[in-house]
Amino acid sequence: MGLLYNFVQFVFSALNFILWAYMWIIIIKALLSWVNPDPRNPIVRFINDITEPVLEKVRIILPLGNVVAFDLSPIIVILIIYFIQYILNYVEFYYVLPLIFANY
């Protein structure tokens, strides 16, 4: 039981960490947009390459950029990340872990 429990905990913790790190990369991207950094900088290129596909999809689905003076897509992506983390935690504690303990 301990090995399966530890594996499940690791998977959910890893997913939570990846989502948490991506959220901070989105926040850094939003902050960088205020200062207009050099686009040839490798760090700025990495941040743009990793965030723009997701932000662009949100901009296509919710084209609020024409209505509002600033881009709301980072806020929407962060809210989606929080929702996914909530769902992951809910599924882990109310569905997956009870199944592990019920089988042992």
**What are the tens digits of pLDDT across the range 46-89?**
999 999 999 999 988 887 666 767 788 999 999 999 999 999 99
Question: Can you give the pTM of this predicted structure?
Answer: 0.86
Instruction: Name, in order, each residue with C-beta under 8 angstroms of 96's C-beta and a sequence gap of 6 or more.
Output: 8, 12
CA dist 21 and 15 (Å) reads 10
Higher pLDDT, 2 or 1: 2
Beta carbons of 49 and 39 less than 8 angstroms apart: no
Instruction: Name, in order, each residue with C-beta under 8 angstroms of 51's C-beta and a sequence gap of 6 or more.
Output: 25, 26, 29
Nearest to 33 by CA among 78, 74, 77, 80: 74
